[in-house]
A = this chain, B = another copy of it.
Amino acid sequence: MPVITIEGPQLSIEQKRELVQAVTESASNVMKMPKHSIIVMIKEIDRENVGVGGLLLSDKK
């Protein structure tokens, strides 16, 4: 614990490395908790499975 879940678009492995490193760093500093206790989970969600304003992202230009 803490557990940080990031739901967003498809990412490259390089982006995942960067994101996990940066978010863990921020959480560790702000929460004054050791990095090893921080879990980050990345959930890539297809545009076809996300709606904003009533429309699927995959249907938006």
Contact = CB atoms under 8 A, between A and B. Distances in A.
B16 A56 contact: yes
Copies of this protein chain in the complex: 6
Given A20-B56, A30-B22, A7 B15 contact: no
Given A40-B51, A41-B3, A50-B40, A26 B31 contact: no
A52 B38 CA distance: 6
On chain A, which size bracket covers the interface? Answer: 35 or more
Given A3-B39, A36-B52, A40-B50, 16 more contacts: A1-B52, A1-B57, A3-B7, A5-B7, A8-B31, A11-B31, A15-B30, A16-B48, A19-B31, A20-B55, A23-B26, A23-B27, A24-B51, A39-B52, A40-B52, A44-B49
